[in-house]
């Protein structure tokens, strides 16, 4: 039972970012930072590459061609955190999109929590 609850709690924090707008079959997932870690984002000066790498935990539909255009390999690539680091290190636009969505998830969570305490 507790394993199921842990999984459900984590899923409540999960969001997906489409690799291309409105193409849900190619997406990167992240877990919203838990409340106990949100203060670290402010202390770090915001969300950058390291924070994005900390919270991204998977993807779907990503192929080697997405990571290395022109390589000609189109089979879905299993999620690999080392590959993710190499890919994002040289892809500032994608890091930025992920950082914005993580920040938005934090803001949405804090807004909902504040609204709940007012009720």
**Residue range 93-107, pLDDT digits in tens:** 999 999 999 999 998
CA angle 76, 77, 83 (to 5 degrees): 155
Domain ranges of the chain: 2-118
Mean per-residue pLDDT, 11-25: 90
In order of 30, 51, 91, 95, the CA distances from 14 in angstroms are 6, 15, 22, 17
pTM here is 0.88
CA distance 43 to 48: 12
């Amino acid at each position: 039972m507790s394993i199921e609850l842990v999984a459900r709690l984590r899923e409540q924090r999960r969001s997906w970012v489409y690799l291309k707008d409105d193409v849900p079959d190619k997406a990167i997932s992240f877990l919203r930072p838990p409340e106990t870690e949100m203060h670290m984002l402010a202390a770090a000066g915001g969300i950058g590459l390291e924070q994005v790498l900390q919270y991204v935990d998977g993807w779907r539909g990503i192929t080697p061609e997405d990571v290395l255009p022109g390589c000609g390999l189109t089979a879905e690539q299993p999620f690999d955190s080392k590959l993710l680091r190499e890919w994002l290190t040289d892809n500032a636009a994608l890091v930025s999109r992920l950082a914005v969505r993580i920040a938005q998830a934090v803001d949405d969570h804090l807004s909902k929590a504040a609204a709940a305490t007012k009720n």
